[in-house]
A and B are shown apart, each in its own frame.
Chain A
Amino acid sequence: MDIELFRNYRIEDFVLDENFRKLAKGGEKSDYFLKELSEKIPEKRDEITLAVKIINELHTSSIQHNHDRKSALWNDLILKQKHARRFNILRYAATILLLVGIGCASILCIFKMAAPEKNIASDEVSLDDAALVLADGKQISINSEQSIIQYTSNGKNISVNDTVFMEQSITDDAVNQMITPYGKRSGILLSDGTKVWLNSGSRMIYPPVFKGKIREVYLEGEGYFEVAENSGKPFFVKTSAFTVKVIGTKFDVLARKQLSEFGAILLKGKITLMATSQSHSKEVTLSPDQKASFSDKQHNFMITEVENIENYIAWKDGYLMFNNEDISSVLKRVSQYYNISIDFRFKNDIVKISGKLDLKDDHKRVLDGLSIISKTKYSKEGNKYLFYN
């Protein structure tokens, strides 16, 4: 380094000198060098001090992603690259679909404005259409089998199924609500980047934008969460029976009061479940591939290890997965999803079913398909379906 050159430097010359900047930014090591430099050219001591201050102030970048996250993103990239060819075709197909969709929006999704619903905490999910309730109580019905709701980071702008865009004004205590009726699903991108899939017969109440120190949503039914990382603002999922504290990141929460089914399954990261009851303060922490079931009678959590965990959340992608299961348990899952009652009288329950069941169809076609592959018959009696062989 040319000390002689530095003798003629003004403050701006120090700041503009790349080598000097490297010295100034170099952390502990640089303190030593700078001290030495000040001693060698004492007449420039004040200039050097001020130049270093200015350099430090010009340095603003603070966001550092952790190594694991970047690794995951890179793997994602490579994986997508491998499927690039297939992806491209899909993308074209999607574009064409979107174009068609815009052309005949009336077929794909019909929006009707309903009267404002004041009492958003009513206990029943009785609508046939999925519904999004905005902060001012305005309710938007969505008549598609799966709805995608996306919020911008300010929580004000919302897109529905990528075709309809709307805006809402937000007060400090504003909440939105998403309701998915039986036989339908929805995906919601919250303002903080968290993704939530709501299963059939579920609702979630959430603020359009997370103000304050925590992020909190309220869930009834079943939801699959992929929580966006923000260690400064912990995420909580509240249900009537327990609260999930999210340490990270992918998990399914089950809170079906009518069926007394409460619990959670963790795919990735860590979550803690805390019972809501005042008299007991029970809590459990889950590791990946574990399931917690909560008994609302005994106020107890039971943890079990889970195999084929993706089967539990296949509903979010529009199908149910079965792995060598009895026809009776398959029918039970189908009856839950579509909220229909199915009875069965099998002389011998030998048929086992494996594979995917597409949920895009209406329940009659699903039942037809099941009866064919399981070689059973069914009939409808009143509101009930009866399967027999």
Chain B
Amino acid sequence: MGLSQTIDYLSLWNKFIKDGNQTALSIIYMDYYDVLFNYGSKYTKDTQIIEDSIQNIFSNFLKVRKNLGEVHNLSGYILISFRRQLFLDIKNHKKLFLPENLSDDHFNYFADQEQDITDREENDRINMIVKRCIRNLTPKQQEIIYLHFECELSYEDLSGMFDITVESCYKTVYRSIKLIREEAEKILFRVRNN
């Protein structure tokens, strides 16, 4: 993650909103860039679109600064804005290009990783298990897990973002991790018995 634990991004954001301080926004931009880029690359391999979407939301922040309301959770706000923009940009891009392009525009947790399930050490069995369990989830479930673990979005943020209850957000996350644990134990148990 590109985010620093010691920087208070929310107060930087408020500095930008209240005084139009561009330096404050530039720090947010620099630190969120990789977070957004990596999130976007779970949707599309077209890095140009991801880049454009990042530029678009920040340029929009600058444009409509005075009309922006109070934000309680900056990560949630920025990620949701970005997601909306990315969908829009992908849609517009599709209008211009053949629809076959970008047909893979659903969330894929391991989209930016090579598929390398070859002979693996015991240590890396966990890797396989995690991948297999996550891949078996729906794209939406994968996205919830990603946003929760990678981007530290709370269940409340996720609930608002996906229009589902906080409880079912929690359940989605909890069940997947439990499943991974069970699968992991099965295999580790077998190894130990051998």
A residues apposed to B, CB below 8 Å: 10-12, 15-16, 18, 21-22, 50, 53-55, 57-65, 67, 70-71, 73-74, 76-78, 80-81, 84, 152-154, 156-157, 159, 162, 165, 167, 193
Distance, CA A321 to CA B109, complexed state (A): 50
Please name all residues of chain B whose beta carbon is closer than 8 Å to the beta carbon of A59 when the two chains form the complex: 149-150
CB nearest neighbor in A for B41: A63
Q: A16-B174, A74-B29 are in contact. Are A58 and B96 (CB under 8 A)?
A: no
Given contacts A16-B174, A77-B58, A193-B48, contact A53 B126 (CB under 8 A): yes
- The residues of A that contact B58 with a CB separation of less than 8 Å are 77
* A157 x B112 contact (CB < 8 A): no
Check A58/B48 contact, CB under 8 A, given A74-B30, A84-B63, A167-B100: no
Decide yes or no: A57 and B38 within 8 Å by CB, A50-B181, A81-B62, A157-B98 being known contacts.
Answer: no
The reply to whether A159 and B97 contact each other, CB–CB distance below 8 Å, is: yes
Chain A residue at minimum C-beta to C-beta distance from B188: A50
- Interface 0/1 of B6-36, CB less than 8 Å to A: 0000000000000000100010011001110
The listed residue (B34, B41, B126) touching A54 by CB distance below 8 A is B126
Contact call B29/A152, Cβ cutoff below 8 A: no
Say how far A298's CB is from chain B's closest CB, in angstroms.
43
Find the B residue at minimum CB distance from A78.
B22
> Which bracket fits the contact residues of B?
35 or more
Tell me which of B33, B35, B46, B152 contacts A70 (CB under 8 A): B33
Note all chain B residues with C-beta closer than 8 A to A61: 1, 34-35, 38-39, 112, 150
Interchain CB contact under 8 A, A12 and B2: no
Tell whether B78 is near chain A: CB-to-CB under 8 Å.
no
Measured CA separation A162–B96 after assembly (Å): 7
A–B complex contacts, Cβ < 8 Å, 7 sampled: A11-B177, A12-B174, A54-B184, A58-B150, A64-B2, A78-B22, A152-B101
Which of B29, B47, B146 is close to A193, meaning CB atoms less than 8 Å apart? B47
A366 vs B186: C-alpha distance when bound (angstroms): 79
Decide: A10 and B181 in contact? CB cutoff 8 A: yes
For window 137-192 of B, CB contacts with A under 8 Å fall at 145-146, 149-150, 152, 173-174, 177-178, 180-181, 184-185, 188
Tell me how far the C-beta of A176 lies from the nearest C-beta in chain B, rounded to whole angstroms.
Answer: 17
* Given the contacts A57-B127, A152-B101, A63 and B45 also touching, CB distance less than 8 Å: no
The answer to whether B130 touches A57 (Cβ under 8 A) is: yes
Which residue on chain B has the smallest CB distance to residue A57?
B130
* Contact indicator A50/B126 (Cβ below 8 Å): yes
**Given A57-B130, A76-B55, A77-B59, A152 contacting B97 (CB threshold 8 A):** yes
Q: Is the CB of B112 within 8 A of A153?
A: no
* B87 at interface by CB-CB < 8 Å: no
**Chain A residues within an 8 Å CB radius of B113:** 60, 62
Which residue of the partner chain, among A10, A60, A70, A157, contacts B101 with CB atoms under 8 Å? A157
Residue of A at shortest CB range from B26? A74
Residue of A nearest to B2 (CB): A64
Which one of A16, A59, A80 has the highest number of Cβ atoms from chain B below 10 Å of its Cβ? A16
Residues on B with beta carbons closer than 8 Å to the beta carbon of A62: 38, 112-113
CA–CA, A67 and B180, complex, Å: 36
Q: How far is the CA of A67 from the CA of B2 in the complex (A)?
A: 11
Interface residues as binary, B55-72 with A (CB distance below 8 Å gives 1, 0 otherwise): 100110011000000000
Query: How far is it, in angstroms, between the C-alpha of A73 and the C-alpha of B38 when the chains are bound?
Result: 17
Residues from chain A with a CB closer than 8 A to the CB of B33 are: 65, 70, 73
Instruction: Give, as a whole number of angstroms, the nearest-CB distance from B84 to chain A.
Output: 18
Inter-subunit contact A73/B130 (CB<8 Å): no
Cα of A12 to Cα of B112 in the assembled complex, Å: 26
Q: Is the CB of B98 within 8 A of A165?
A: yes
**Interfacial chain B residues near A76, Cβ < 8 Å:** 55
Contact, CB under 8 Å: A60 / B150: yes
* Contact (Cβ within 8 A) A58 B130: yes
Taking CB atoms, residues of chain B closer than 8 Å to A55 are 149
